[in-house]
Structure 1
Amino acid sequence: MFSRFLIIALFSVFIFPVKAEVVARLKENAQVSSRQVSLAEVVSFDEDAESAIVQALGETLVATVMHVNRPIRIESAQIMRLVSRQQPALRNQLRLTGASAVTVILAGEKVPTERIAEAAKAFLHDELHRKRIKFAIRNLHIGSNSILVPDGDLQLKARLAAPLQAARRINVVVDLIVGNRRFDSITVSAAIDMIVPAFRATRQLAAGDVVQEGDYELVERPFDESMRSLDLLDTKTEPASLRVRRNIAAKAIFYRHDVEPVPHVVRNQKVLVEVKSNGILIEKTVIAQSDGFLGQLIKVSDPQSTEFYPAKIVAHGRVEVK
């Protein structure tokens, strides 16, 4: 009879296995290295606990620390609620012992504001020189006097807060990277005097005029709100032989959208057309109905017959009809 009972008992264990209980001792104090606090950082697990269950429980997030060197207190009941919510399959397998609450602190160090300022200045230097802008930094204002980050490898990466445009003040954001993760961002406001090279018209130019040498000069002038964004004509691009798109007053600055390449054919221009028929090349004069560049198709009209037909631009003032 006893043997029969023992066999049934053993059989029941294999069919209905008892879930292993994991015992974890809650620490009184814990020092963490990131804002996201996991269960593994605030408890000590029983050495005999199943490793897979310990790993799953240990990854459970139990708190978020917002400030460096400012302790927070986490109650054991709060931890159990979070485990039940995030790990419902394991909620009955954890038993907390030890302290009734743990005090957590994100230990860190103070970052000198001079280091933040140097990162912002170096970034501005590279950014403005890349755009060929001469400048002088009058002053820098850092939005925080006390900058704290967790202990670890700190990297500073600067970026523009907004696209660069005409302004006497530029905001640079310096990201504080700790352990390859952005911990915080500091805004640095830079008061700047900028000098830029620009082309200036020496006489009044009308829309449609082709710019000639002597119609412009290279000048340097303060970069201020009257100069729209950084849309100046690049000083590597000489305006000579470009066509003016709008009226430009004498002493006015050239912007990119003020000029455009001169088309190979312009509207209402008399152009030579090559007509190939039965191997015979015939040339005659037609009127272009629109502007166009090399290789483009445009409509032309025959002044003798008022007929319109498409033609391909093959050179300045020349089109071809096949």
Structure 2
Amino acid sequence: MYSVKAILAVGLLLVAGIADAGRTQTGAIEISLRDQVRLQDRTFTLGDIAQLDGTDSRLVSRLKRVLLGRTPRAGASAQIGRDAVASRIDRLSPGISKRVTWKGAAQTRVQAQHHRYDRQAYLDAAQRHLDNWLGKRYKDFSAKPVGSYNDLQLPAGKVAIQAEVARRDRVSKRMCVWVDLLIDEAHYTTLPVWFDVTAKAEVYELQRDLSAGTSLKPHMLKKTKRDLAAVSGEPVAALTVIEGQRLIRDLPSGTVLTKAALQPVPDVIRGQKLQVKASVGKVTLIATARALEDGNRGDPIRVERLDGSDNYMARVLDTGLAVVEEDYR
């Protein structure tokens, strides 16, 4: 038989255990928001902006780790208030905000810890990259930064720089180098740095005015040294390029010849005299005619008799040769 004292002792222990369990389950949580914080990490948690107290240590620990948002960029700030915190923690455990006793500030101002980053560091990186790019292509070049640039306010962390020429197909008078700033190996921002560029090399220029359609010959050109950054288009670098080429448009003397100004000379040129064949049965007739339009092998073109009394269609067979086919009669 158990004594009355023993039974009462067990009862008191049970009641105490239930009470403790009730307090653990329904215990109050005290959240005291700070007026402002300066943070290093890219994101911030409730524990970063507030002091938390409560009887349930595991719950308090979980609440401290609740992610609230991203830390603003250096030089900027963000505000987060009690309502936003309550909404966020209720997602973790519905209704938990009703157990919170709020203290401290009504809202917290969040800022990033930052330091001044000298603009010369990223300007020098852009300069080195562009000089390297130009040096691989030209012997005589220069590149000078243009525009105004400011020091930066960067968050704490290891800074690294990656640079890339914006347009890599050819040189131009104004060139941009994109500079990527990385903080602890993560991309932070991208900055454009502009340069005034010269890049001199030997090119070919016209010795006299030439009209559109002129078939180019070496004696029409002369070699000279020019700033390619000021030339629109890709200059002709060798005389072999002009073989079988003609001008698309009129060009004045002294113009740097570019590939964009050239087109292949067609097999038949407008105004050219050509031989035209026509067959009737086993009889083949050949006459001389004048081309009224340009054409290449296989193209139908209109030709006319030399006296201009008649014109008709013929198909180009070769240079200076065409044929009148049944379909064209």
TM-score, normalised via structure 1 length = 0.64
**2:214 matched to which residue of 1?**
209
1:136 alignment partner, SS class: strand
Do 2:78 and 2:110's aligned partners in 1 also have CA atoms closer than 8 Å?
Answer: yes
**2:269 matched to which residue of 1?**
266
Instruction: Sort the Cα spacing of 1:234 and 1:131 in 2 relative to 1 into closer, same or farther, 3 A.
Output: farther
**Following superposition of structure 1 onto structure 2, how do residues 150-299 of structure 1 map, counting pairs within 5 Å?**
150-152=156-158, 154-160=160-166, 167=173, 170-178=175-183, 182-222=187-227, 227=230, 230-236=232-238, 238-273=241-276, 282=284, 284-285=286-287, 286-295=289-298, 297-299=299-301
RMSD over aligned CA atoms reads 4.9
State yes or no: 1:65 paired with 2:67: no
Displacement of 1:212: 0.8
Do 1:158 and 1:174's aligned partners in 2 also have CA atoms closer than 8 Å?
Answer: yes
**2:141 matched to which residue of 1?**
135
**1:306 matched to which residue of 2?**
310
**1:17 matched to which residue of 2?**
none
**1:3 matched to which residue of 2?**
none
Structure 1: gaps (5+ residues): 1-19
Instruction: Sort the Cα spacing of 1:264 and 1:67 in 2 relative to 1 into closer, same or farther, 3 A.
Output: same
**In the alignment, which of 119, 124, 147 is matched to residue 125 of structure 2?**
119
Deviation string, structure 1 residues 32-81 (Cα, Å, up to 9, x no partner):
433x65668657997756xxx98xx94553x651326x7x5745425337
Q: Distance in 1 between matches of 2:165 and 2:27?
A: 51
Identical positions, percent: 13
Aligned residues: 289
Deviation string, structure 1 residues 85-126 (Cα, Å, up to 9, x no partner):
xx9897744466675455644235554544313321233235
Q: Distance in 1 between matches of 2:93 and 2:212?
A: 77
Instruction: Sort the Cα spacing of 1:222 and 1:82 in 2 relative to 1 into closer, same or farther, 3 A.
Output: farther
Q: Distance in 2 between matches of 1:158 and 1:133?
A: 21
Do 2:204 and 2:235's aligned partners in 1 also have CA atoms closer than 8 Å?
Answer: yes
Deviation string, structure 1 residues 225-262 (Cα, Å, up to 9, x no partner):
xx45x324342573354212333333332244433221
Deviation string, structure 1 residues 268-322 (Cα, Å, up to 9, x no partner):
32334566787x6946345433212344x222336399353352x4432234547
More helix by share: 2
Amino acid at match of 1:308: Y
Instruction: Sort the Cα spacing of 1:204 and 1:122 in 2 relative to 1 into closer, same or farther, 3 A.
Output: same
Instruction: Sort the Cα spacing of 1:214 and 1:184 in 2 relative to 1 into closer, same or farther, 3 A.
Output: same
1:214 alignment partner, SS class: helix
Do 2:146 and 2:196's aligned partners in 1 also have CA atoms closer than 8 Å?
Answer: yes
Q: Distance in 2 between matches of 1:81 and 1:255?
A: 68
Do 1:22 and 1:93's aligned partners in 2 also have CA atoms closer than 8 Å?
Answer: no
Instruction: Sort the Cα spacing of 1:147 and 1:156 in 2 relative to 1 into closer, same or farther, 3 A.
Output: farther
Displacement of 1:265: 1.6
Do 1:149 and 1:183's aligned partners in 2 also have CA atoms closer than 8 Å?
Answer: no
**Following superposition of structure 1 onto structure 2, how do residues 82-121 of structure 1 map, counting pairs within 5 Å?**
83=88, 92-94=95-97, 100=105, 102=108, 104-108=110-114, 110-121=116-127
Q: Once structures 1 and 2 are overlaid, which stretch shifts more, 130-139 or 208-217? A: 130-139
Instruction: Sort the Cα spacing of 1:193 and 1:269 in 2 relative to 1 into closer, same or farther, 3 A.
Output: closer
Do 2:142 and 2:199's aligned partners in 1 also have CA atoms closer than 8 Å?
Answer: yes
Runs of 4+ in 1 over 6 A off after TM superposition: 20-24, 43-47, 87-91, 161-165
2:150 alignment partner, SS class: coil
State yes or no: 1:33 paired with 2:41: yes
TM-score, normalised via structure 2 length = 0.63
Q: Distance in 1 between matches of 2:262 and 2:29?
A: 77
Do 1:272 and 1:283's aligned partners in 2 also have CA atoms closer than 8 Å?
Answer: no
